[in-house]
Amino acid sequence: MEIITAVRGFKDILPTETGKWQYIEKIAREILANFGFREIRVPILEKTELFKRSIGESTDIVEKEMYTFLDRGDEYLTLRPEATASIVRAYLEHVMYAQDPVARLFTIGPMFRRERPQRGRYRQFHQINAELLGLDDPRTDAEVILMLMQFLMRIEISDLHLQINSLGCTKCRPSFRKALSDFLAGKEDRLCKDCQRRIAMNPLRVFDCKTTNCIEVIDHAPQILNFLCPGCMDHFTRVKEALGMFAIAFEVNPKMVRGLDYYAKTTFEVVTEHLGAQNAVAGGGRYDGLVKDLGGPDIPGIGFAIGLERLISISPFMDEKFLMPPQLFIAAIGDKAQKLAFSVCNRLRTMGITTEMDYSGKSLKSQMKRADKLSSHYALILGDREILENKAEFRDMQKGTQETIGLDDLEKTIIKIVKGS
C-alpha cells in the first residue's frame, strides 16, 4: 500500500532541524523581551471578514491565496495568512488599550497562503510577528527596526539590506493615487491581468507586482515620496535620523509598497542576496488606520513579520550543533544487567541526566556502535559477571578512556562525573 504524504506546500520540520528552530526562537524571545514585547497567542482560524477588511480585497493574499472554507454551511472561516489582523482583533476584543495605552505584542507561529510552492515559498510557513500599538512617534519606527536588525545580527545572518519607504497617510496618499492613476491611464494593456483588474481599486498594487512588463511600466511612475504631506515628510526624516543614531544602514526604496493595504507612513523590508528570487527575510510597516478600520478607536501601530523558513535556510548554524546527544549510554549484557540498566537509565533521566540504553540485548560491540552513533559522551557497560563482582565499566567516549566503578552509589558516582564534565 502506498503511504499518505503531506499536502503539497506543507512541510515537516524534522527532529534534526527543530534544534535550530528552537535556538533561533530563543534568541528572538530574548531580544523581544529586552524591547518590552510580550507574547500573545492567537488562533490560527479567524472569520474571513477580518482579513478581507484589514489586508484589503485587492491584494494577492485576499484575492487568491487564502485558505477559506464554509464551516458547515454557517460562516466563512480562513486559516490566517498573516498575524497582524488577528493580533489587532484580539487587542480590540480584550480592550487592551484600556489597560495600557501602549501595547508591545509578539507571536510566533504558522501562517497559510495558497501560493505556488517553490524555494522559499510554502503554503504553511512560520513567522515571528511583533506589533507595537498606541504610539506614532517616529522613534518607535526606528526602535522596531533596530530590534529586527539586532535579532538578525545575533543569529549571524549576513549580507542583509534594509530598505525603507513611506507610503504617506490618508491626507497625502489620495493625491499620489490620483497621479499614479493618471500615469497608468492608457497603459493598461501593458499590465498583467491582475494589475489591470486592480488599478481601479488600488493602483499602488502595480508596484508590488513581480511581472516583468508591470515592473517596466511602473519604473517611470510618479513616486510616493514626492507627494508626502509635511507631517509624513517630517515623520520619515525623523525615522531616518533615529536609524542613524544606531548606525543602521538602510536604503530608501520609493517603489516598495508591500503587499497589504493597511500600511501607512513607514514601510520596510529586509532582503538578502542568499535567497534567490524570494529574497525578503522580513517586512513590516506602520498601520495607523488599521485599528480604526477594524472597528476600534483611532490607535496607531507598527509591526513586522519575519519569515522563519527563509531565515533557517540561510542560517550559518549547523543542524548538528543542536542535536543534543545523550550524556550517557548504558550497554548491558545479560538479564541481570539489562534489568539494572533499565532502572539506572530511567532513574538518571529523572535526575536530569540525558540517558539512553540498549533494549536489544545484542552483542557489546553492536551496543557500543549505537552509543557511538548517538554521539554519547559517556558509556556505562554492565555485564552479569561484573554485577556479581559489584562493579561496572565506565567509558569516556570522547577521550577514549575507561575506568572501573563500583555499583554502590552508582547513580551518585555517575552524576558526579557527568555533571563535573
Q: Which stretches of the chain bind ligand ATP, using CB under 6 A?
A: 82, 113, 115, 120-122, 125, 127, 259, 278, 280-283, 305, 307, 309-310
214: left (phi over 0), alpha (psi -120 to 50) or beta: alpha
133 in Cβ contact with 89 (< 8 Å): no
The CB-nearest residue to ligand ATP is: 307
CA 384, CA 366: separation in Å to the nearest integer? 17
List of residues 6+ apart from 39 with CB closer than 8 A: 29, 32, 105, 106, 107, 108
Of 272 and 367, nearer to ligand ATP (C-beta) is: 272
**CB closer to ligand ATP, 235 vs 310:** 310
Nearer to ligand ATP, 127 or 355 (CB): 127
Q: Element (H or E) spanning 193, and its range?
A: helix 193-198
Measured from the CB of residue 123, what is the shortest distance to ligand ATP in angstroms?
A: 7
We find the least distance from the C-beta atom of residue 18 to ligand ATP, in angstroms, to be: 17
Query: Which grid cell is 394?
Result: 565506565
* Residue 334 C-beta: closest distance to ligand ATP, Å: 53
CB of 108 to ligand ATP, least distance (A): 12
Nearer to ligand ATP, 81 or 326 (CB): 81
How far apart CA 291 and CA 282 sit, in angstroms, is: 22
Rounded to whole angstroms, how far apart are CA atoms 130 and 127? 10
Q: Which one, 10 or 342, has the nearer CB to ligand ATP?
A: 10
- Of 290 and 340, CB closest to ligand ATP: 290
Least CB distance to ligand ATP at residue 60 (A): 7
For residue 111, give the nearest of 146, 86, 133, 92 by alpha carbon.
86
In angstroms, what is the minimal distance from the CB of 33 to ligand ATP?
22
Put the strands of the sheet holding 45-47 in their side by side order.
45-47, 75-79, 67-71
